[in-house]
Amino acid sequence: MKLIDKSKKMLKKYSHAWVLLYLFIYMPWFTYLEHRTNVHYYIIHSPIDDYIPFLEIFIVPYLLWFLFVAVTVLYFFFTNRSDFYRLAAFLIAGMTAFLVICTVFPNGLNLRPVVFTRDNIFIDVVKILYQTDTPTNVLPSIHVYNSIGVSIAIAHSDSLKKHPHIQHGAYILAGLIILSTMFLKQHSVTDVTAAVVMSFVVYQLVYVTQTRKAPKLSQQPI
């Protein structure tokens, strides 16, 4: 009985876990987009792209994106349900918009270097990235959008406001991740700009509008 009661309490405590089921929508859809054939891709390019050098060292913050987003989502999942829901709403809105855009407007890049003039461990990792990640479905950049999203969540967190070093570190990492998408030739300036604009729009809907409706929205600690 104790085990059953404990299980019920856990289910009630983390009932917001249902939001994570979105991954079972996003991943199959994204996988389909990455592997579909007989599609004409619109090549995204900005004149500014030609002036941005390829810098393999930025593979470090680029890969840290996965940890950055996952840790932030899990932090709010276990500590504050209200903040978790807002972050989830922000991420899901943008990621769904991205899927729809890439479905109806297939897009890709032709920015990656054909020959590498340097040989080091960072180049080796970039080569692996290029082999596993197709230069398609790039507009808007999810790396950029989600980095902005988790940074906004961190900025709005009352508990993390007590730890400004964590907030500042998150902002710096987000900035490096955004730069990495361009320095690694994974995204065009156009992709980045589109992600920033989409972030602004969704921010108004998820954070600004809700704050106006409930300026004294009570926290819901887990």
Look at residues 76, 71, 83, 218 and name the one whose alpha carbon lies nearest to residue 147: 71
Residue at 10 is within a domain: no
| pLDDT tens-digit readout, 184-219 | 999 999 999 999 999 999 999 999 876 666 554 445
Domain-located, residue 71: yes
| β-sheet bridge partners, residue 207 | none
- Per the domain annotation, does 222 fall within a domain? no
* Residue 32 located in a structural domain: no
Those residues whose C-beta lies under 8 Å from the C-beta of residue 59, and which sit 6 or more positions away, are 122, 125, 126, 129, 180, 184
Cβ atoms of 55 and 183 closer than 8 Å: yes
DSSP string spanning 103-169? HHS-EE---S-SS-S--SHHHHHHHHHHHHS-SBS-SS-HHHHHHHHHHHHHHH-TTGGG-HHHHHH
Q: Euclidean distance between the first and final Cα of the chain, in Å? A: 24
Residue 103: per-residue pLDDT: 97
Mean pLDDT across 154-179? 96
| pLDDT value for 53 | 97
Please give the residue range of the domain that contains residue 178. 52-213
What proportions of the chain, in percent to the nearest 5, are helix, strand and coil?
75, 5, 25
Is 194 part of any domain? yes
Mean of per-residue pLDDT scores for the chain:
92
Convert the pLDDT of each residue in 88-133 to its tens digit: 999 999 999 999 999 999 999 999 999 999 999 999 999 999 999 9
Distances (CA, A) of 33 to 41, 109, 130, 168, 188: 11, 15, 17, 35, 19
Q: What percent of the chain has pLDDT over 90?
A: 85
6 within some domain: no
Q: Is residue 164 part of a domain?
A: yes
Show the tokens assigned to 81.
């349900």
Q: Is 54 helix (H, G, I), strand (E, B) or coil?
A: coil
Measure the CA–CA gap between 129 and 58, rounded to whole angstroms: 12
Q: How confident is the model at residue 55 (pLDDT cuts 50, 70, 90)?
A: very high
Domain assignment present for residue 22? The answer is no
Query: What total of structural domains would you count in the chain?
Result: 1
How high is the pLDDT of residue 5? 57
pTM: 0.91
